[in-house]
Every structure is written in C-alpha cells, then in structure tokens.
Amino acid sequence: MSEGSVHYSVAGGVATVVFDRPEARNAMTWAMYSALGAACEQIASDDAVRVAVFRGAGGAFVAGTDIQQFTAFTGGEDGIDYEKRIEAAIGQIEHVQKPIIAVVEGFCVGGGLAIAAACDFRIAATGARFGVPIARTLGNCLSVGNVARLVAGFGAGRTKRMLMLAEMIGAEEAQACGFVDVLTEAADLDAKLSEMCKRLLSHAPITMRCAKEAVRRIRTANIPDGSDLVRAAYGSADFKEGVAAFLAKRPPAWQGR
C-alpha cells in the first residue's frame, strides 16, 4: 500500500486537511503523521486562516495507524517512543489556537479517534463508527493522555466499553453523550460544515482562543505518567502475536504474557 498523503488547502479563511489513503481507510503512516504536524504549523502561523477542518478521503475518517509499522517493534521501549510520537502529533492539534472541526464519515478508529477527540467540534454522518478495538486485535494500549481524551469525550463507562469490550460506538450514541456535536446524513455533511464554519468565522478569535486553551489546561491538569502501562503492553508476547495475527488475517491466540 501507499504511504498516503495529507492534503492542505485554504479558502475563505478555512483551512482543510484531508487524510488520503482510502485503500487502507486512511490508516496513518509515519509520513502522514509528519504531514499532519506540518499542517498544524501552517494553520497556526497563517493569519488568514480562522478555522480548520479535518476529514478523510473515500468515505472514512481515519482507521488508526498502519499496523505494518509495528512489525519493526522489538520491545516495550518501542511502544514508549511510538506513544510519545503519537502524543506529540495529537497534542499539536490541541495547541493550535484556532477552532478545528472534524468531519467524520465511516470508521473513526484508534489513532483516528484520538485525532477527532483532539479537535474542538465533530460533525458526523449517521453511519460513522467510533472505537479502539485493540483488546480484540493488537493487544497494545493507549497512552494515558489519549485515554483521558476519550474519558472527556465519552465518559469512563463508554471508554471501558471501547477499550476492554472492543465495542464500536455508533454515531447516534456518540451524539447522545456529547462527543458528536452535529449528526446528519452523509449528503448533508458539507452544508452542516459550511454552517458551522460561518458561525465560527463570525466570532471573536481571542475569545475562542482563550476558551479552547482554558479547556485544554483543565483537561490536561494532573494527568499521571503511564509509561509503565505502555511498556508492559508493547513489550508483551501478546502484542507480537496480535500484530502477526492481524497481518495474517487470523484470530490471535492470547497468552496473557
């Protein structure tokens, strides 16, 4: 499969970032994460940009991280380095001092869910699905920072359902718990997006900047270190088995070690 692309464009004060790897439901490669970081820098530095939009190509948002990249991992420290890299990319979204809207169609999974959670608003099509099914597939874990984002967006109970029961949350439930701000048919996504962009473009930039940063500071206050958890999961034999089973398209044989 290709390394994928992240396209960046600006029109009418709105920057649009498109994750483009549809053959893999836009699963993120290292190159795409790097391009996402560059896009965030452009949004932050361009005074002509007042609002940003993140969306995926081909009817999906982002279906996690490309699993092939995990085959080079040899132990828990690789997991520490990976989660730090992902946390830096997701944190960059939250530090952009301008409103960011995620437009979600289809699968919004794993790293894709973290990206959507870091955005300020989410507009979703009725068929969108949200989840982190790693207990069923890979046997790794999320950083404590990303778990905190999910708890803030979905609540502790739904977060456990996603992480432990490997449940996918439907768009209607995601709206009911407040994670999705606008739910609409796929054909109406662009109209709803245009409406929200117009509202944000008409509002006081400094007020919105302060509000966004205040919420970020409250959410991130006193988040504990989770390196021991990441090291344990990524250093396990189960994680190696999960990656091998995923790529071989067979059920994993968990050993609990």
User: 2-30: per-residue pLDDT in tens?
Assistant: 899 999 999 999 999 999 999 999 999 99
Assess if residue 213 is contained within a domain.
Answer: no
Assess if residue 117 is contained within a domain.
Answer: yes
Assess if residue 103 is contained within a domain.
Answer: yes
Assess if residue 257 is contained within a domain.
Answer: no
pLDDT of residue 1: 63
Assess if residue 192 is contained within a domain.
Answer: no
User: At which residue do the structure tokens 């021991």 appear?
Assistant: 228
Whichever domain contains 134, its CATH number is: 3.90.226.10
Assess if residue 143 is contained within a domain.
Answer: yes
pLDDT of residue 148: 96
**Beta pairing partners, 20:** 5
Kindly give the parts of the chain with pLDDT less than 70.
Answer: 1
- Domains identified in the chain, total number: 1
Assess if residue 12 is contained within a domain.
Answer: yes
Q: What is the 3-state secondary structure (H, E, C) of the chain?
A: CCCCEEEEEEECCEEEEEEECHHHCCCECHHHHHHHHHHHHHHHHCCCCCEEEEEECCCCCEECECHHHHHHCCCHHHHHHHHHHHHHHHHHHHHCCCCEEEEECCEEECHHHHHHHHCCEEEEECCCEEECHHHCCCCCCCCHHHHHHHHHHHCHHHHHHHHCCCCCEEHHHHHHCCCCCEEECHHHHHHHHHHHHHHHHCCCHHHHHHHHHHHHHHHHCCCCCCHHHHHHHHCCHHHHHHHHHHHHCCCCCCCCC
**Domain containing 47: what range?**
5-187
d(CA 47, CA 58): 30
Closest C-alpha to 24, from 112, 92, 119, 84: 112
* pTM of the shown model: 0.95
Assess if residue 69 is contained within a domain.
Answer: yes
Cβ-count burial of 69 within 10 angstroms (0-12 exposed, 13-18 middle, 19+ buried)? Answer: middle
